[in-house]
Structure 1
């Protein structure tokens, strides 16, 4: 059952023996080594806290796996892991002594296959962290004891948990959980992913939009012999699309829930977004300008292209986020453009001309079509490249989270974690444990253990 068992015995001594034992430790030791009568056994269990039931299933949903590193006996460690919902077979359990006999290649295979690492010393923990780092994993080590400090320092992200006796771990950590709430890791993962999405959206607005403007200018120059837009018009485009809308997008949450995303920063996805935005921007502006060139003068065509260029970029900004701030800034930019183009004196100053219903229809219709294409393009590309991207996924693009607790893994697991032990695309979360330190909220224990390994 994974209980720690302590035998309790007694012996009756005479008054003379008691006095001698009190004065001489050797006598006391001799009396305790023989003539004992067994009273019974004490079974000590690590009882998970009920409120810890949701952490590991949520980590699994976010594609962050779990490993258990512990100083406990393999039987105890396996029982704790199974109680917490980890499906563990005997082949997925390794002890520190067996770990020490493995070669570098064997250790790399062990961290992929094994879920429970028992009887692990602080040095073993560091080796496990380094092995996964060497394999290209991104590792976060969470701990609260002196035995965790070295591994916390070795991980990509060291997280210390505030508790009694946790000073070494906190000193080695990059981040400290002051309230001891280990489920704050979920908030940290969510915040990190949202931050990356905001960076990706902001960069795509600036690079993709400007790339589309350059492409439109080149296409127009190649077709008509000169750029469709003047320098003043290009400056107006940048003011209306790169200023307030881009800033609002950078501080607004994304439309989608990012908790299910297992990857961190993905440069390929960033450049794909930039390319889609640039192509859509150029397509919307070029289409509107071409139609206007066939039905009116060059100044009118330039104005239609300007409106389509701004409208396409603002539409794509709304695809990335429809928060009130983004909608307000995008709507304000479009309204400002409408006023500038429709006011006769100002319009001529900018090299434009007021548009009629046909011109606005050409501009806004082209912008809407290009925006719709940009909205569907990522899904289409992902579907076309789905099989290839699955085959080419590498451990370097996955996340590994280590967490360390005293006496077992976090008690938040209640559902089995179904993962292929050797799958390279499955991120890993490792929990390390030692029974000679105080139990904290991190391992969700109700009692304190001060015994030694």
Structure 2
């Protein structure tokens, strides 16, 4: 364990026959000036009087009296290969002056394959990824291109920030917040802590992050993997989408029950449902499918949608329109069933049939509620097995209620003929069918509009 840069340097030294333990035994440390983001260098004075300094080349050059030729070209070559470049110098005595530049060290930290894919997924999701690093500008630019942060012809301005200090990181975060953006900031060093605290979501690295950085953060990334952040975005969007569609489903069911009862009262009809029926519908018929809807996998297109604004309500005009329209649809089928039943059946049997039709409508409608724009088969017919199980169980219980004498007496129901049960199931398919056909109709209209400019 330890700083990755220091470990890489020790590994390179060991490959050349230099062991740290031997150096510490033969020439122990006398003093040390640790790395500082403002100085951008560190130094160690050993017992033989030699001062060893490493850091950014720009920070060391003013302190050197001897610089070998070709340093600038070597720097450009290493940085252009996306290598982090450290300059190494040595001198005599404790003061960092009159140094001799010994050479440059290139450190490779190739992006993980999943990080490249995560950057692409974040771009598609409307999440802009900005690189803030202490590396040389050429190194930062090369890494940004490897990651896909910059595409061909795109300017690095605003996307790649090199040689950034703690103050500059803080300024960048505040700048994005001033534009009204929701800012998540990742970091592992002590100088990242102020920016992490300033961001809406501060994310610290769990493996390599400093303790103060983890304390300043809101989240700790245990695997230090950018792809995990994008996966969390996907999961969060999926959870939000599930909560919203579940609310629409529940409210639409309540609206349908309300319109059914109100319509029957205005028409001077007997009560189509008794209080116990409404309680059963709300607790079982609505409640169980709603619990299953919340467990739905994230929609396949969830990462191709633009981010929502923080002030956007969970239920907007589109959702409330869906609640009202779907509620009216459920109520129309149920009230129509009750009107027809009263003309052909006793009141108790008409009420039982209407109760069964309403339950079938709401249970089957849960399959259309899984997505606003995709059909149930497109979302994945068998991806939400709890919903399939709940639908089958609820329909079975509904069929059993009038057939079990004790339950039938408790709910004031009467047994239904097989033809009436088949009728109830068929009528129950009307709302889900209408909602699914509406998706196809809207999709066709959208395609026609997309083709219209090219054809006209």
TM-score bracket for the superposition, by shorter chain length: 0.5 to 0.7
Distance 2:178 2:410 in 1: 61
| Residue 339 (structure 1) aligned with residue 400 (structure 2) | yes
Cα distance in 1 for residues equivalent to 2:149 and 2:296: 37
Aligned counterpart, 1:62 = 125
Deviation at 1:178, TM superposition (A): 1.9
| Cα deviations by residue, 1:277-324 (Å, 9 ceiling, x for unpaired) | 423432332333233344334333322221111111111223346522
Distance (whole Å) between structure 1 residues aligned to residue 426 and residue 388 of structure 2? 19
1:109-188 equivalences in 2 (<5 Å): 114-164=158-208, 166-188=210-232
Compared CA separation, residues 246 and 55, structure 1 to 2 (3 A) = closer
What is the SS of the residue equivalent to 1:263?
coil
Listed as ranges, the matches of 1:229-378 within 5 Å are 229-253=273-297, 256=300, 258-263=302-307, 266-268=314-316, 270-320=319-369, 323-343=384-404, 346-347=407-408, 349-377=410-438
Number of the residue aligned with 2:246: 202
Larger radius of gyration: 2
Distance 2:361 2:286 in 1: 13
- Aligned 8 A contact 1:204 1:277 in 2: no
User: Equivalent residue of 2:226, what SS?
Assistant: coil
Of residues 99, 110, 123, the one that matches 1:48 is 110
Q: Which runs of 5+ in 2 are unaligned?
A: 1-55, 69-90, 371-381, 450-456
Paired position in structure 2 for 1:79: 142
SS at match of 1:137: coil
* CA distance in 2: counterparts of 1:325 and 1:221, whole angstroms: 37
Going from structure 1 to structure 2, the CA distance change for 1:297 and 1:150 (only over 3 Å counts) comes to same
| Equivalent residues in 2 for 1:210-225, closer than 5 Å | 210-225=254-269
Residues 29 and 147 (structure 1 numbering): CA distance in 2 closer, same or farther, change over 3 Å? Answer: closer
- CA distance in structure 2 between the aligned counterparts of 1:336 and 1:83, rounded to whole angstroms: 58
Partners of 2:260 and 2:159 in 1: CA distance? 55
- Contact 2:111–2:146 (CA under 8 A) maintained in structure 1: no
Contact 1:283/1:370, CA 8 A, preserved across alignment? no
C-alpha distance in 1 between matches for 2:169 and 2:110: 23
Is the 1:193–1:258 Cα contact (8 Å) retained in structure 2? yes
- CA 1:88–1:46 in structure 2 vs 1: closer, same or farther (change >3 Å)? farther
TM-score w.r.t. length of structure 1: 0.65
Find the aligned partners of 2:173 and 2:94 in 1 and give their Cα distance. 44
CA–CA distance in structure 1, aligned partners of residues 202 and 393 of structure 2? 44
The root-mean-square deviation of aligned C-alpha atoms, in Å, is 3.7
* Contact persistence 1:69–1:117 (CA under 8 A): yes
In structure 1, C-alpha distance between the alignment counterparts of 2:442 and 2:324, rounded to whole Å: 12
CA contact (8 A) 1:307 1:337 kept: yes
SS at structure 2 position matched to 1:66: coil
Does the Cα contact within 8 Å between 1:5 and 1:44 map onto a contact in 2?
no
Distance across 2 between alignment mates of 1:121 and 1:163: 22
SS of 1:267's partner is coil
Could you tell me whether the CA contact under 8 Å between 1:74 and 1:93 is conserved in 2? Answer: no
- Which structure is higher in RCO with an 8 Å CA cutoff and minimum separation 6? 1
Whether contact under 8 Å (1:160, 1:169) holds in the other structure is: yes
2:24 corresponds to which residue?
Answer: none
